[in-house]
Amino acid sequence: MVGNFRGTTKIFGRDGATTELQVVHRSDWTAEGQFILIQGKRGNDKTGVAVLWGYDPQEKVYRSWQFLSAPFSVGKPVELTGKFEGERLVMEGKLGDALVRSTVQRKEGGGWKVLSERKRESEWVRISTQDIVPAK
């Protein structure tokens, strides 16, 4: 997860519309190797994201804090916690009042896929997908 990456984000609207954005990410170890800091940009606009990832050895969970810019910001970072379920890292948290889940899976050859979902009543509804590969 450390290095330069590029890929595609697909955002699925409640009205059924799909928006596809090209993304670029740069990630580095920070805080003496305790965290990975990911900084990214979506599309040709100024929409950006910063994500801090780490492992909490006391609670034995992974944690991430996502700082989103408009129009996705809810005014504070989105905190997710989770564990590996087989090959997938499944993280859950709150986005405003909504329960959200991100499932991260490594891709063969480098990179990863991310599925982000929101809980609506008793089912999970897709918010977005990301397909990220190493930049060349």
Instruction: Write out pLDDT tens, residues 2-28.
Output: 888 999 989 898 888 998 988 888 899
Determine the pLDDT at residue 76. 77
pLDDT for residue 49: 83
Q: Please give the residue range of the domain that contains residue 111.
A: 3-134
Residue 102 has a pLDDT of 95
How high is the pLDDT of residue 1? Answer: 75
Residue 71 pLDDT exceeds 60: no
Which CATH number belongs to the domain containing residue 112 in this structure? 2.40.128.20
Query: Quick one: three-class SS letters along the chain?
Result: CCEEEEEEEEEECCCCCEEEEEEEEEEEEECCCCEEEEEEEECCCCCEEEEEEEEECCCCEEEEEEEECCCCCCCCCEEEEEEEECCEEEEEEEECCEEEEEEEEECCCCCEEEEEEEEECCEEEEEEEEEEEECC
Higher pLDDT, 92 or 41: 92
Bridge partners of 39? 26, 50
Least confident of 10-19, 41-50, 87-96, 125-134: 41-50
Give residue 9's Cα distance to chain centre.
10
For residue 78, the model assigns a pLDDT of 87
Structure confidence at residue 54 as a pLDDT band (50, 70, 90) = very high
Nearest to 91 by CA among 57, 65, 59, 127: 65
Mean pLDDT, residues 77-99: 92
Note the pLDDT of residue 66.
87
Structural domain count of the chain: 1
The whole-angstrom separation of Cα 118 and Cα 80 is: 13
* pTM confidence score: 0.85
Q: Is the pLDDT of residue 46 over 70?
A: no
What whole-number distance in Å separates Cα of residue 65 and Cα of residue 94?
11
Pair of tokens at residue 53? 């990832």
Adjacent-strand bridge partners of 22:
8
Strands 18-30 and 3-12: antiparallel
